[in-house]
Each structure stands twice: as C-alpha cells, then as structure tokens.
Amino acid sequence: MSQQPNPQQDPSGAPRREDRLAPRPLDRPPVDPAQASVFGRPRGVDGAFDRLYAPDARANGKAQQVTLAPPPPESLAEAFRRPPEAAGVVLQRPADDAGAQPETEAPLWSKPADPWRDPNAGALLGGPAVATEEETKEDPEERPRGAMLSLPEVLFGRRVKPTALALLGVIALLIGAVGGLAGWWLSDRGDALTGELNIAEAEAGKERPPGSVADVARRVAPAVVSLEIRIGEGGGSGSGVVIDPQGYILTNDHVVSMAVKDQSAKITAVFINGARTEAKVVGTDPKTDLAVVKVNVPDPVVAQVGKSADLAVGDSVLAVGSPLGLENTVTSGIVSALNRPIGMPGENGGPPSNYGAIQTDAPINPGNSGGALVDSTGALVGINTSILGGGEGQGGNIGIGFAIPIDQAIKISRSLIEQGSVKHADLGLNAASVAANTSEGAQVQNVAPGSPAAAAGIAEGDVITKVGDRIVRTATELTVVVREHNIGDVVPVQLSRQGRQLVVDVTLGSD
C-alpha cells in the first residue's frame, strides 16, 4: 500500500518554508551613555585587549600599535628574576627517584569542609610565617650575646642615655615604694592573717619639758641630802639642803638639836648617789629653828637660791626631802598662804621658835624637816619645818605644812657661818595675844627696864596692833614682825591704850 504525500510537506519530506517559525526578536535595551563612557572600550579598539595589534583597527591604512608598560628597571629585574642556574626549573616540589611527584596536601577547605569556601577561588592559605617552637629548638645556631656593661660604663661611659637612667631610677623607686607599702600592710594585718596574739605595749611617757615636775626634781634632788643622827642606840633623821660649794648644808635646829646637846652624837649626810659622809654642826638658831652643818666633799651639787618675797598664793611648789626615812622623796603642791606666823615650843628646854612661814599643801611629813621647798623653776624658796596635825594621835600630813622663807633663812645662815651665832631685833617686852570687841593684837604683859620699848613709852597693858606697815594680831606675829627688821632700825609702833590709838617710834635693840 503506497503512502499518499502530504500536501503540507515538501516532496522531500521536510516542512515547507512558509510553515517554519520565525526567530524571536532580540531585546536590546538602550545603553546608558555615562556607563558606556566608563565601561566601554577605548576609542579605536574593537577587539580583545590581549592582542598587541588590533587587526580591525586601522588608521590611515596603518595598524595602530597598543601602548604597553615600560620595561622594569635593571636593578629590580636583577633582584627578582631567576638566577641563571635555575633556568628551566619550575616552582614545584622535586620528584622522587621513581619520577613521581610527591603527594600534596589536600586543600584547606577539604578538611573539614568549609561551607562558605568558594572552591573556584585561586588563593590558598599557607602555613604560618613564624617558626614553630620545635623548629626553634632544633635551630643549632644561637644569637651572640652583647657585651655586658659595668657600672662606671653605664654612669660615665655615655653608653646609656641619661633619660634611660632617670627612667630606670624612677622605676626602682616605684618598685621599692610598692614593696614597702606591701610590707607595711602585711605587718599591719599580720594578726588577721596569722591569727597570732598581739599584745599592745605602751611606752613610758617621755614628755618632760623644761619646768615640768620631773625636770625640776631631776635638778633639785642632788642638792638635797638626808641627815642621820646617831646617839648610842637611838637617834633621829631629817633633811638638809646644800647652799654653798664648800659643803655648807642648811637644815632645822630641831633636826640636829640632839647632836648639839650630846657631843657623842654622830651626824651622817647621805647624798642622792648613796655616798655617806660625816657632818659637823657649824651653828644653830633655836629662835628661828635654823641650823648649818658642814661636810667635806669635793664639788657638791648646790641648790639655786631664789626669792621668797616674789612668791604669790597659788604658785606651784615642790617639797624634796626624806619623810619617815624615805630618801629623795618629791611631793608637789601650791603656796597656800604667805607670812603665816608660826610659834613652836623650844627643843630640850630651849627658847621657842617664831617665824613667818610659807604655808603649802605639798605633802610634808616627819623627816621632811630641813628639806627644800622649790618653785616651778627649781629655785630654793623655803626650808620645810613643820606641819599641822589632824588632832590627838594624828601626826601625818593633812595638807597644811610650813616652810621658813629662804630670804630669812639665808640671812641667818650667813651669820651662823661667819659668826657662829645670830642676833635678832627686839622690843624688850613680853606680850600675849588678845581679841576684844575694840581691839585685837598683842597685849604687853611687862616691859624690861631700859629696853627699847621702855624708852619709847610703851607701858604694861598696851595692845600693839601694828609695827611699821604690818598688822599685828597675835603675840607670835609681833615677834615675827619685829625680827623682820634690823637691829637699830626706827619703826613706828601703833598701839591702843585705854581706848585711844597711839603711835610711838621705837629704836629696835638686840635680843
């Protein structure tokens, strides 16, 4: 059966031309002139850039030559080109004996796989540029050490810059400061760190400025001695003050009165350093309770003599002596009163003693007699003599002590040293203390014939109320006030006679 030809086909069997589809038209968007000027080929170049000559670029019938980069400088070419002996050598690892190339390491991105790695990238990461620790250890070559500099070369050899030396010194100071602070902190916190018991120990007070009690006592004590009187199995004790470099010691009469009465008595002076030496009585004055003894010692410490007339109530004073045999005892107090008339009965039947005393609350006890009363500067202002007891059977200190003013004591001691005895100014009468509604003073009991009082017209029964510029309240005060004057002085005496006030001038005589 023969096949009938298709009228739609060519006799050869191919579709007819009019039955074929036309090609799809090309979509060519317009070119932006600005981008064409930037990214387009330069003028006169139609082909690729890797050709030396553009075959289709003709200018005036001649081939236009492409301008190439100039050859590199000879110095760079010589530095970076292959050496002559390396001609034909490729930069590949050498083949082994069998002629096979050694196996190369797999790419970095293959182990482990890096999902972000572009396998078409040409750059590869190589090994580290710095040698590993093992390679460094295997390097047999060691770098040579530099010369070591001595201290003179560093300081004076100009081998190191001054700024470097200064910086080094600052660093050393900082290191030392940090170390010191760390050590201080550790020592301060030592008990907290170690748990050890830390007992606080207080140092003794050492604040002894000039004029302090300790300073005054240190300077005065060597001039005060303890006096021991021995008579057979008995005796007594007291104190004394060295007032002259030749060894003269001022004390009380009642301290040495036993030695005066008994020639077998022995007086021993004990100094602050423990030295003991025999003392001899130079002279005594029972009426003022003063005496002077002498010791033979080389260069004794002498007390500085002050002025009792300059004292005021409330001034600070120190009493230095040997109360109850306790040598070199120092007590402190103030001046409680001045010109306090004190009358004491005589020792061993002797005449009574009267003096205008310095009253003080510095503790004074038996044994302080004859010791020093000094002011805040250490100057001797009185000789401690007596105390006022608290009553029957109470002989201790109750804060009322008396000392003979040094102005009077020095005057009497000079007379005892030079003459061996003392004479006092006297009125030549006996008196008793009175206190009435109209008068208060010393009432005359009797007047000695030919005495200064009799010559002045003073009669029995008169009441003396004032001598000179001093008021008289008691008979003891009358004696004290009169003895403050010199023999031969003319003093006005105010008295009361039968209710009338009289003033008479009296020329003082001697007792």
Task: Return the active site residues.
Answer: 254, 289, 369
Token pair recorded at residue 142: 């060691």
Token pair recorded at residue 114: 């890096």
SS3 53: strand
CB atoms within 10 A of CB 507: 13
Q: Which amino acid is at 490?
A: V
What string of H, E and C letters represents the secondary structure of 402-469?
Answer: EEEEHHHHHHHHHHHHHHCCCCCEECCEEEEEEECCCCEEEEEEEECCCCHHHHHCCCCCCEEEEECC
Q: Is the C-alpha dihedral spanning 238, 244, 248, 253 positive or negative?
A: negative
Q: Is the C-alpha dihedral spanning 10, 12, 14, 20 positive or negative?
A: negative
SS3 92: coil
Please check whether residue 387 is in contact with residue 397, taking contact to mean a CB–CB distance below 8 angstroms.
Answer: yes
Distance between CA atoms of residues 216 and 214, nearest Å: 6
DSSP 257-276: HHHHH-TT-EEEEE-TTS-E
SS3 170: helix
Please check whether residue 324 is in contact with residue 366, taking contact to mean a CB–CB distance below 8 angstroms.
Answer: yes
Q: Is the C-alpha dihedral spanning 442, 448, 450, 451 positive or negative?
A: negative
Q: Which amino acid is at 215?
A: D
Please check whether residue 403 is in contact with residue 358, taking contact to mean a CB–CB distance below 8 angstroms.
Answer: yes
Token pair recorded at residue 128: 């580290």
Please check whether residue 219 is in contact with residue 382, taking contact to mean a CB–CB distance below 8 angstroms.
Answer: no
CB atoms within 10 A of CB 124: 8
Please check whether residue 87 is in contact with residue 81, taking contact to mean a CB–CB distance below 8 angstroms.
Answer: no
Q: 315: part of which helix (H) or strand (E)? A: none
Question: Could you give the angle at the alpha carbon of 130 between the alpha carbons of 125 and 131, nearest 5°?
Answer: 115
Residue 112 preceded by cis peptide, ω within 30 = yes
Distance between CA atoms of residues 362 and 382, nearest Å: 12
Burial class (CB in 10 A: 0-12, 13-18, 19+), 406: buried
Q: Which amino acid is at 41?
A: R
Find tokens 């002629």 and name the residue. Answer: 99
